[in-house]
Chains A and B, each alone.
Chain A
Amino acid sequence: GAVVSQHPSWVICKSGTSVKIECRSLDFQATTMFWYRQFPKQSLMLMATSNEGSKATYEQGVEKDKFLINHASLTLSTLTVTSAHPEDSSFYICSAQRGPGAAGELFFGEGSRLTVL
């Protein structure tokens, strides 16, 4: 099956620093990638939809200046958590869509666990 790689798998940072998480589709081109946040024992919360070459579409309640998303190429999207604080600690998962519309399959990255001290 298709492979989506996230990096880093986990990161610990100090409060106030910025952290960048990469999401790559390794064997297909993804015009659309999604970023999710998952709190312990909860479902995935969609943060934003990232389309190659255009601005990301953020879900209600997600601060776009806090969570910067860049989809520079058809195989790479990045999420930067700016000025991270302990409440930003979470498991962040990306997914890449292969194929258009709702028929497209979603392939998920392994997730990145962020801990902000």
Chain B
Amino acid sequence: GEDVEQSLFLSVREGDSSVINCTYTDSSSTYLYWYKQEPGAGLQLLTYIFSNMDMKQDQRLTVLLNKKDKHLSLRIADTQTGDSAIYFCAVASGTYKYIFGTGTRLKVLA
């Protein structure tokens, strides 16, 4: 079946950039999403990208998509302590079904 993988942990210093990576297997994925989950809370949509794009920038967030390698990344510029959370990538194809990655726990050190 479809699979979405992420590294489990990332630690960065405040003010540095964070890059969270995601790989997926379903080549028919048309929409790719990044969600943020703070402790004990639901998921918050951060940004998304269509499969016919290779980059999308939204303030401090930059999403890069390498469709050939099925690789998605989220770059957070000037990372702040408030960015500490779990980040999930998710992919969706023509159906309603979303497949979530395992989540990357970002820890920002002051």
Residues of A at under 8 Å CB distance from B? 1, 4, 6, 32, 34, 42-44, 46, 49, 93, 95, 97, 101-111, 113
Contact = CB atoms under 8 A, between A and B. Distances in A.
B93 interface: yes
Contacts of B103: 42-43
A43 B41 contact: no
Most A C-beta atoms less than 10 A away, residue of B48, B97, B98: B98
Contacts of B48: 105
Given A108-B43, A111-B42, A101 B96 contact: yes
A26 B68 CA distance: 39
A43 B96 contact: no
A59 to B, nearest CB: 9
Contact of A49 (B40, B96, B101): B96
Interface in B36-82: 40-45, 48
Contact of A111 (B35, B40, B94): B40
Contacts of B33: 106
B98 A108 contact: no
8 contacts: A43-B100, A43-B101, A44-B100, A102-B94, A106-B98, A108-B44, A109-B42, A113-B40
B42 A93 contact: yes
A111 B30 CA distance: 27
B43 A95 contact: yes
Nearest to B8: A41
Nearest to B88: A43
A42 B102 contact: yes
B45 A105 contact: yes
Nearest to B44: A108
B45 A106 contact: yes
A105 B100 CA distance: 14
B102 A107 contact: no
Contacts of A108: 35, 42-45
